[in-house]
Every structure is written in structure tokens, then in C-alpha cells.
A and B are shown apart, each in its own frame.
Chain A
Amino acid sequence: MTNFLPIDFLLTAGCAWLVIGLLGLVAPRNTQLISKMLFPLGALVGVGVGLVALDALGGPAQTAVLAIGLPDLPFHLRLDNLSAVFALLLGFVAAGISIYAAGYFRKGEGTAPGLMCLQYHFFLASMLMVLLADDAYAFMVAWESMALSSFFLVTTDHKHEEIRRAGYLYLLIAHIGAIGILLCFGVMTGGMGGGGGDYSFAGMRAQDLSPFWASAAFLLALAGFGAKAGLVPLHVWLPEAHPAAPSPVSAMMSGVMLKTAIYGLLRVSFDLLHSTLWWWGVVALVIGLATALFGVLYSTVQNDMKRLLAYSSIENIGLITVGIGLTLVFHAYRMEGLAALAMTAVLYHGLAHAGFKSLLFLCTGSVLHATRERSLGKLGGLIHRMPWVAWLALAGVIASAGLPPLSGFVSEWLLLQSFLFSPGLPHPWLNMVVPVAAALVVLVAALAGFAMVKFYGIIFLGQMREPALKDAHDAGPWEKAGLAWLALITLLLGVLPSTVILRIDAATRQLLGTGLADKLNENGWWMLAPISAERASYEPLIVLVTIAAMLLLVRWLVRHLYHGRVRRTTAWDCGYHFEGPRAQDTAEGFSQPIRRIFEPMFRMERHFPTARDVKPYYSVKVEDHFWHWCYLPVARAAGWVSTLIVTLQGGRIAVYLMYSFITLLLLLLVARP
């Protein structure tokens, strides 16, 4: 082997992650070795993966065959542009999270650090494998490894019952999803039409499925990958599993693992299936919108900071799915320019979300370490004690609220642009519905701002709601480095959109046959003008520089022309001086307008104080409608069926022998030659 291809490097990186994980088992209780040596090494591998993927973008697809697996069923691997974009995401985000994790895991909490290290790096390697897999077998093996390793990571604190419950729910829905994906691959191997049965992706690409079976495969993929991504109504595991997991794991799951599901959906619907039907797009659009709206509304009313972020992840996945839906619609009508625009928005939002959501989850980890408190109602004022975390979290908050000049806005802008130029679809009612969908997307974005102000304002600003918060301390150097790395990604994705899009354009080009590169190259690197400069343009760097320059200039001018005097005193608050921290809005209070305006969307149990209460109190509990609509009935039905079965099981061995005997007789009758 003379030349070492990127795919070989990625394989080596995957193996390196496995080795690092196994090394953790050598001294499972040696926290110092594991956190200060192995996790940083893992981060280094992550940077390597990111750089190699960056280099591989735009190059030809490379394949490899691994002679492991079952006899005669080798693993096929392939690194193409779509895989490379997601490997890029995985590598760079994992690097930040691993650096942070180096400072995060402490002695004597839950799973032994060595085991944790193994699970974590196994998780990373399996995600890389998912991206590289080029046949259904390798894909499913990697997919299941990913689900299992993340299940063990979620249940790190397995001594708490609710964490075990969250882990079980996660595993259950992950497997419902896996069944969907397996069936989808089954349909795509072409077994339905006789012949076929080639389980490699190349074989699936060569199949020419009838519209019915293609649609079946698409819907199965949407359900299967949707379960992993958190699409409504298969989202219920997300808000349970994310708070249960340690923060670096939540960050990894939300930032990267959800994106592997998006990768799978893109792979199936644009690469493996080629007869796109327009209504697929509408289905994805509607489900995506419902998910986004549902996620953002629930995120605004959460009182647990990690649950809030988990619902916000559901929202972002919804927005990505909206983009996929739009791409499918445009693709079906052969409007490839617009499809490329929407696809770019999808990929960009994937990258942006991976950066800012991991950043925010890691910030909650630091807050959790400093205060041992996850409930928003007991936090507050932490900007005074943890200025680093607070200011870095602000970057994540602005990006997550979809505001310029950070990363979240770029993808939202691209998505809205593709909505805006949708008229011209050769379908009258689609033409009308699509702009209204755009309005909902805007509503979601604006509500995300509300949720983020709540998240940031209640945790970091205001007065400390508990006296214990005075002892909070800022994050350590490793944690700061990890946060700063992710904040840097968020900033770069925000201000250099053209540069980034020119790199990831190869994936768009691979899936749709056309990209945005030609249009972008007409203008400077600082300008994002996907159609033409006259139609729409955005220069985030100018926005950033202008605001920053104005800030410094005005500050200097005011000091120079007037003075810089400051006096400190108690807060004014309309002259009322007797207010303690209890007078601030609580988390419940902050979201009261949302609960009131969108009342039918929530299932609420409220207790209002009356004038005669001796100990008046107010409480509100918001529950998920879907839990009561979809899950509890199924659980109840399952319980009912099992009580029926219990009647069969009397516990007497004679009866059981009789069952076997009857079964045998029946089988003999049926299977008679």
C-alpha cells in the first residue's frame, strides 16, 4: 500500500478511539491517567478526523472492504462527500467535547472512569463507522453499537431509578427506530420484486423500485431515523435521556448523534432512492414543522435546564427536517438550484446546531458541577461567579436563538431564502402552503429566542436564588478550553458562511447534481449571496465588525467627551428596597405568557392559591400530550395483554406439559407433508 487515503486514516482514527477506550480499562480507577491523558488523546484524534474529512471533501469517493464480520459478509466502507461533511462535524465537535470531558469526570461518581472512557470512545468510533458504512449489515452493526454504547453512557448514574427509566425508554425507542431502518433496507435491497437481495448500498442504488416500494422505504426511513433524531411523536426519549446523561454525553448525543440520524435520512432519500416523489417532501415538511413548533413550545416551559435544551434540540431537528422536506419538494420538481439552497441550509444547520448545542450542554455541565443544581428555580446570578462560562454560553445562546452574527442565523437565513423563492412550484396549493410554513418557521425561531433568554437570564443573570450559589466556582482550564473551542466553531460558522459552504458544497453536488459554489464564487468570501447579490445577500463579518466597532467607538467617545464615573448602590426598582431574590421571575413565571397563549398545546396540572389558604402555594406541572396520546395507551394495552397471558401461566408443571403437547399436535397437523 503506497498511498494512505483519507478513508484509511479515518479507519485508523476509529481504531485509535477503540484503543484509547481499551487503555482506560488498564487502570479503570486511575482518574488522573484517564482524564489527563486519554481524553485529550481522543480529542487529538477528533481534530485529525475533522481535518482529514475537510481534506476529503470535494475529492472522489473512496471505498474499502474490511474482512471482518460474518463469513462471506465483509463490511463495505465508503467515504464520499456526504460522509465527509458529517465526519467533519463529528471530528471537530468531538474534539471540543473530549477536551471538556478531560476536566469534567471526577472521582467516585457512577461508573468507573475507565469503563466510562471505553464506552465514550466506543460511542465515538461507532458513530464514525455509521458514517463510513456502505452496506446495510455494517450500517446496522455500527448503528446498534452506537445505540448500546450511548445507552450505557446515559445510565452512568444507574443508582437513580429515574435514570434507569430514562435509559430504558431510550433503548426501547432506539430499537423501534432500528426496526424501521432494518425494514427500510430490506425493502431497498429489492427483495420485494424477486431477485435482488444485494445488501450493499451500491446494490440498493442499482435497484429500480416501483413508486409504491420506494415510498414505503422512504416512510420507513423517516420513522426509523426519526426515532433517533427525535421527530414527533417519537421524541419522548430525548427530554428524559439528555438530563439523565452526564453533560459531555448529552452534548455528544445532542450535537453529534442526532446528526447521524439526519445523515441516514439524507443517505436514504437522496442517495439510495432516486425516484423522489413530491409528497415525500410535504410529509417531511409537515412532520418537521410539527416537531419544531412542539419542541420550541415545550422548551420555553421547562424548569430543568437540560430538559430545556433537550426540547430545543427537538426544535432544531424539526427545522432540519423542514429543510429536508423542502429539498425533496424542489428535487421532485427538478428545481435543482433551489433544492441545493435548501440542502445547504440543512447541512449548515446540522453543523451549526452541533456546535452551539454541545456548547450549551457543556455549559450546563459546568453549572451542574459548580452548584449541583439542575433546576432553574434554584439558580441565578452565576455570571458573577462563573464569568467564563457565562460569556461563552452567551455565544451559544445567540446562535441558538438564530440571531446574527453567529452560526444559527446563517442556516435560518438560507432556509428562509429557499422558502421565499418557492413560488414557481408547478403545484398551486403547495405554492400557497409553503409561505405559510415559512411563517411558522419564523415563529419557531422567535420562540427559540424566548426560550434562550429564559435559559440564560435565569441561570446566569439576576440575583442568586439560593444562598449556596455564593460558593459556585468557574470552570477549570480543560473545561474552559473545550467551551472556547466550541464557541470558536460557532463564531467561525457564523461569520464565514461562504467559506464553509464552498467546502460542504461537494456534498450538495453529490446528492443533487448541482451546488451553490458557482454563485458564491462570483462574490467575495465575506459575502453570502446564494442566488445573486441583487436578490439576497448577507455579510455577517461586516455586521459583527460594525457592531463591535460602534461599541468601542461609542465607549471611547463617551469617556473622552464626558466621563467614565460609576457609583454603586442598591437597586432602585421603583424605590422599593425590600426585595429579595424571591421577587424575581421564577422559571415558571417567565414562561407564563407562553402557557397562557398556547394553552391547548400543553397538558397542565396547576394549583392556584386561594385567599383562604393558610400556606398558599402555586404549582404547575406541564406534561407531554404525546405521552398520554400515544405511549400510555400502548403501555396499558401491553399490560392488559400480559394479564391475559398470566392466566395461562398457572405455575403447575402438568399444565405446561399439556401446552407443549397441544402445540406439538397442532404443528403435526399443520406441517403434515
Chain B
Amino acid sequence: MISVSGFLGQLFAIALALVLAPLLSGWVGQCRAWFQSRSAPPLLLPYFMLQKLFNKDVVLAHNASSLFRAAPFLIFGCMVLACAIVPTLSTDLPFAPAADALALVGVFGLARIFISLAGMDVGTSFGTLGGRREMLVGFLAEPALLMVFFTLAMIAQSTSLATIVETLAHRDLVIYPSLAFAGIAFTFVSLAENARVPVDNPATHLELTMIHEAMILEYSGRHLALIEWAASLKLYAYSCLGLALFFPWGIAPGDNFLALVAAIPLLLLKLAIGGAFLAGIETVNAKMRIFRAPEFLGTAFMLAVLGLLVRLLLESRV
């Protein structure tokens, strides 16, 4: 049932994700520096960081438990699985039936629970604060994300990501207004989920405002490396998901080798533009207070519901 080429394609997609994810983070950082008229860090900085962290000793707090030590590996595993499910180059993924859009949200949720629990494990004030805020952002973002997926699932009559992308990529040129709403909502949710400005700031350890950084304060060495890598994999997965859902052109439909090869530069181009766009958003926005986050994500949720209703009311004949 599972073709060899499909399997190889799947492995290639995972490998590509592992390699490209830190690069994407580096690229966003570089664009951000350019937009803010700073001199940019090297593009390959994230790789150097990973290399350095893997070489360093792990420094554990005295009362760090086994869960604390297992969590980075679990989170990394979840993110690799997520990257395997999201169609990046081709929709012929042997892993795709393993988890549809709803299960993908579940996999992200699993990673979130583990990182929050790990944040609470050492028992410092920042750790618990970060864990609580992460769960706050999570329960606000998850419904909005699922509403986006619901809208798309109704268009494609399927919750399988591969089917959704295939339907959207190879449809006749019909404009779906619902997709516009869903796209904006998805952008909002991605910003929140990836700990980006305006919900969180990945570049700060400013004590009272941090979320993601607060949870991982106690991590060091290979644990921190895996968490950072997993965070960039999450950014990569969300970016690819957004690109695949709202700009699906160029994704190879099956095990067509030529289309697959052509998909790679197109993906790189799209990711470069997407990363620059993200850096632009982060530049023109300021970090908001944590209690504005409900408003921000509430807006995302409303937009997603609006998209769904538009789909139901106006496009049901399409």
C-alpha cells in the first residue's frame, strides 16, 4: 500500500524539515534585524547555537525530575511528527493518514502540555508563570485554529491535510471569501502559538512579559538545544501549513519525481517571503500585555467563525 517512493519522499520531507527549520528561524531573525536597521546576526546562527548547546554539559536543578529530563525529547518527537504530517513538498505522504488536521492540533497540544509541565517541574516562580501563560495562550488559540481547519475541511469535505491541500491546489480558480477570513485568523493563531510578537517576544528575557522563555529558563545543554530545535520545527510546521493551505500552488500531487524536484525551490522561495512577512509583523507591532492576548485571540476566533459562517451561508452551493 505504501509505495517506496512515497516513503522516501516522506523521509526526505522530514530531513528537509530538520535542516530547514533552524535556517528559517535564522532568516526571520536576520530580516527582523534588517527591518529594524540593526546589523544582522549570521544566517546560520541557529546551527552554531545548536552545535554549542549539544556540546555543553546539562546543568540540572537539584529537584528536576525525570519528567523534566524526558520532556525535551518528547516535545522534539511531537514536532517531528507534526512536520511529517504537514504536506510541504508533496501530498503523497505515508504519514498523512496517521493524523488529520484535528489530530495535528492534538499533537501540538501534547507538546504544549509537556513543555508547561516541564516549566512547572523545577518549581521556580518564572517556570510556573510561564506554564500558566502558555496554557492560557493555548486554550485561547486552539479553538480558533480548529475553526480555521473546520472551514477548510468543509471546503474540501475532508479533514485530512493531504486531501485539503490537494483540493485547494488543484481547484478551478474560485475565490473563497471564507478563505480570506480563515487566513487572517490562522496568521493570528500562528503568531500566538509560536511565541511571536505581539503575544510573546522570542528575543527577550524581560522577566514579566515572557511566556515561552520563562518555561525553559532552567534548561541547558542538549535539553535546551532540543527545545530550541523543536521550537523552530514548530515555526516551520506552522509556516508550511499556512503556505500549503492558503498558497498551495506548486506542491506535488503524487509521487511525480519532477514535480517534487520543482517543489523544492518554490518552497524555499515561499518560506523566504513568509519569513520576511513574519519579521515585518514583528517589527511594526509591539508586544502586548498578557491580558490583551484574549482580545487578540478572541478576534482570531471571531474571524475564523465568520469564515465558517460565510462558507456555510454564501458558498454552500460552490
* Residue ranges of A at the interface with B (Cβ–Cβ < 8 Å): 380-381, 383-384, 387, 390, 394, 397-398, 401-404, 409, 413, 416-417, 420, 423, 431-432, 435-436, 438-440, 442-443, 445-447, 449-450, 452-453, 456-458, 461-463, 527, 529, 533-539, 542-543, 546-551, 554-555, 558, 561-563, 565-574, 579, 581, 583-585, 589-590, 592-593, 596-597
B110 engages A565 (CB within 8 Å):
no
A416 engages B61 (CB within 8 Å):
no
Known contacts A461-B120, A571-B122; is-contact A585 B313 (Cβ 8 Å): no
Q: How far is the CA of A435 from the CA of B304 in the complex (A)?
A: 11
B262 within 8 Å of A (CB atoms): no
Residue in contact with A381 in the complex, picked from B123, B128, B146, B221, CB distance below 8 Å: B123
B124 engages A584 (CB within 8 Å):
yes
Considering only CB atoms, which chain A residue lies closest to B57 in the complex?
A: A565
What is the minimal beta-carbon distance from B189 to any residue of chain A, in angstroms? 12
Residue in contact with A436 in the complex, picked from B95, B294, B305, CB distance below 8 Å: B305
Known contacts A461-B120, A569-B61; is-contact A423 B125 (Cβ 8 Å): no
B160 engages A457 (CB within 8 Å):
no
What is the minimal beta-carbon distance from B80 to any residue of chain A, in angstroms? 5
User: What chain B residues lie within 8 Å of A546 (beta carbons)?
Assistant: 77, 80-81, 84, 95, 98
B99 engages A590 (CB within 8 Å):
no
Q: How far is the CA of A573 from the CA of B138 in the complex (A)?
A: 24
A453 engages B135 (CB within 8 Å):
yes
A551 engages B77 (CB within 8 Å):
yes
What is the minimal beta-carbon distance from B307 to any residue of chain A, in angstroms? 11
B301 within 8 Å of A (CB atoms): yes
What is the minimal beta-carbon distance from A527 to any residue of chain B, in angstroms? 6
Considering only CB atoms, which chain A residue lies closest to B146 in the complex?
A: A442
What is the minimal beta-carbon distance from A496 to any residue of chain B, in angstroms? 15
Considering only CB atoms, which chain B residue lies closest to A463 in the complex?
A: B123
Which of B21-29, B63-71, B240-248 sits within the interface? Answer: B63-71
User: What chain B residues lie within 8 Å of A447 (beta carbons)?
Assistant: 139
B280 within 8 Å of A (CB atoms): no
B113 engages A542 (CB within 8 Å):
no
Residue in contact with A446 in the complex, picked from B61, B139, B157, CB distance below 8 Å: B139
B129 engages A585 (CB within 8 Å):
yes
Known contacts A447-B139, A562-B54, A581-B123; is-contact A571 B62 (Cβ 8 Å): yes
- Residue from B113, B142, B291, B308 having most chain A Cβ neighbours under 10 A: B113
Q: How far is the CA of A456 from the CA of B59 in the complex (A)?
A: 24
User: What chain B residues lie within 8 Å of A458 (beta carbons)?
Assistant: 120
- Known pairs A432-B312, A446-B139, A535-B163; list 5 more (Cβ under 8 Å): A384-B63, A384-B65, A420-B153, A462-B123, A571-B123
* Residue ranges of B at the interface with A (Cβ–Cβ < 8 Å): 54-55, 57-63, 65-67, 70, 73-74, 76-78, 80-81, 84, 95, 97-100, 102-103, 106-107, 109-110, 112-113, 116-117, 120-129, 131-133, 135-136, 138-140, 142-143, 146-147, 150, 153-154, 157-160, 163, 205, 207, 217-218, 221-222, 226, 290-291, 294, 301, 305, 308-309, 312-313, 316
Known contacts A449-B113, A461-B117, A569-B62; is-contact A420 B100 (Cβ 8 Å): no
Considering only CB atoms, which chain B residue lies closest to A571 in the complex?
A: B61
Q: How far is the CA of A364 from the CA of B238 in the complex (A)?
A: 38
Q: How far is the CA of A408 from the CA of B171 in the complex (A)?
A: 36
Q: How far is the CA of A397 from the CA of B131 in the complex (A)?
A: 16
Q: How far is the CA of A312 from the CA of B112 in the complex (A)?
A: 20
A585 engages B62 (CB within 8 Å):
no
B98 engages A403 (CB within 8 Å):
no
Considering only CB atoms, which chain B residue lies closest to A553 in the complex?
A: B77
A535 engages B128 (CB within 8 Å):
no
B110 engages A569 (CB within 8 Å):
no
Residue in contact with A554 in the complex, picked from B77, B122, B125, B126, CB distance below 8 Å: B77
B110 engages A443 (CB within 8 Å):
no
Residue in contact with B98 in the complex, picked from A450, A536, A539, A585, CB distance below 8 Å: A539
Q: How far is the CA of A275 from the CA of B264 in the complex (A)?
A: 58
Residue in contact with B58 in the complex, picked from A534, A566, A583, CB distance below 8 Å: A566
Considering only CB atoms, which chain A residue lies closest to B147 in the complex?
A: A439
B217 engages A383 (CB within 8 Å):
no
B157 engages A572 (CB within 8 Å):
no
Q: List 18 A-B contacts (CB under 8 A).
A: A380-B123, A404-B106, A404-B110, A435-B305, A443-B142, A446-B138, A449-B113, A462-B120, A536-B158, A549-B77, A550-B76, A558-B222, A569-B62, A571-B122, A583-B124, A584-B120, A592-B132, A597-B294
B107 engages A383 (CB within 8 Å):
no
Residue in contact with B77 in the complex, picked from A432, A542, A550, CB distance below 8 Å: A550
Residue in contact with B143 in the complex, picked from A403, A409, A446, A573, CB distance below 8 Å: A446
Chain B interface SS verdict (over half): helix
B77 engages A387 (CB within 8 Å):
no
What is the minimal beta-carbon distance from B214 to any residue of chain A, in angstroms? 9
What is the minimal beta-carbon distance from B239 to any residue of chain A, in angstroms? 21
B109 engages A457 (CB within 8 Å):
no
User: What chain A residues lie within 8 Å of B109 (beta carbons)?
Assistant: 401-403, 446, 449
User: What chain B residues lie within 8 Å of A446 (beta carbons)?
Assistant: 109, 138-140, 142-143
Residue in contact with B61 in the complex, picked from A539, A548, A572, CB distance below 8 Å: A572
Known contacts A404-B106, A538-B99; is-contact A551 B158 (Cβ 8 Å): no
User: What chain B residues lie within 8 Å of A536 (beta carbons)?
Assistant: 100, 102, 158-160
A417 engages B77 (CB within 8 Å):
no
User: What chain B residues lie within 8 Å of A450 (beta carbons)?
Assistant: 135-136, 138-139
Residue in contact with B73 in the complex, picked from A381, A529, A555, A570, CB distance below 8 Å: A555
What is the minimal beta-carbon distance from A524 to any residue of chain B, in angstroms? 9
A569 engages B67 (CB within 8 Å):
no
Q: How far is the CA of A452 from the CA of B67 in the complex (A)?
A: 16
Considering only CB atoms, which chain B residue lies closest to A397 in the complex?
A: B113
- Residue from B80, B117, B207, B305 having most chain A Cβ neighbours under 10 A: B117
Known contacts A420-B159, A449-B138, A547-B81; is-contact A538 B98 (Cβ 8 Å): yes
User: What chain A residues lie within 8 Å of B157 (beta carbons)?
Assistant: 535
Q: How far is the CA of A447 from the CA of B109 in the complex (A)?
A: 11
Q: How far is the CA of A565 from the CA of B113 in the complex (A)?
A: 27
What is the minimal beta-carbon distance from A185 to any residue of chain B, in angstroms? 40
B97 engages A423 (CB within 8 Å):
no
User: What chain A residues lie within 8 Å of B207 (beta carbons)?
Assistant: 574
What is the minimal beta-carbon distance from B7 to any residue of chain A, in angstroms? 13
Q: 9 nearest interchain CB pairs?
A: A462-B123, A550-B77, A463-B123, A446-B139, A585-B128, A457-B120, A571-B61, A573-B124, A542-B98
Known contacts A409-B106, A442-B146; is-contact A417 B61 (Cβ 8 Å): no
Known contacts A383-B66, A420-B153, A543-B107; is-contact A572 B163 (Cβ 8 Å): no
User: What chain B residues lie within 8 Å of A558 (beta carbons)?
Assistant: 54, 222, 226
User: What chain A residues lie within 8 Å of B127 (beta carbons)?
Assistant: 462, 573, 584
Q: How far is the CA of A583 from the CA of B226 in the complex (A)?
A: 28
User: What chain A residues lie within 8 Å of B125 (beta carbons)?
Assistant: 573, 579, 583-585
A403 engages B106 (CB within 8 Å):
yes
User: What chain A residues lie within 8 Å of B312 (beta carbons)?
Assistant: 423, 431-432, 435
User: What chain A residues lie within 8 Å of B73 (beta carbons)?
Assistant: 550-551, 554-555
Q: How far is the CA of A387 from the CA of B68 in the complex (A)?
A: 13
B81 engages A543 (CB within 8 Å):
yes
- Residue from B67, B84, B112, B136 having most chain A Cβ neighbours under 10 A: B67
Q: How far is the CA of A435 from the CA of B73 in the complex (A)?
A: 36
A435 engages B308 (CB within 8 Å):
yes
User: What chain B residues lie within 8 Å of A440 (beta carbons)?
Assistant: 143
A547 engages B77 (CB within 8 Å):
yes
Q: How far is the CA of A563 from the CA of B225 in the complex (A)?
A: 13
User: What chain A residues lie within 8 Å of B122 (beta carbons)?
Assistant: 462-463, 571, 573
B121 engages A461 (CB within 8 Å):
yes
Q: How far is the CA of A413 from the CA of B159 in the complex (A)?
A: 11
Known contacts A535-B157, A539-B97; is-contact A403 B113 (Cβ 8 Å): yes
Known contacts A439-B146, A453-B135, A457-B131; is-contact A551 B74 (Cβ 8 Å): yes
User: What chain A residues lie within 8 Å of B65 (beta carbons)?
Assistant: 383-384, 390, 461
User: What chain A residues lie within 8 Å of B301 (beta carbons)?
Assistant: 439
What is the minimal beta-carbon distance from A646 to any residue of chain B, in angstroms? 52
What is the minimal beta-carbon distance from B19 to any residue of chain A, in angstroms? 15
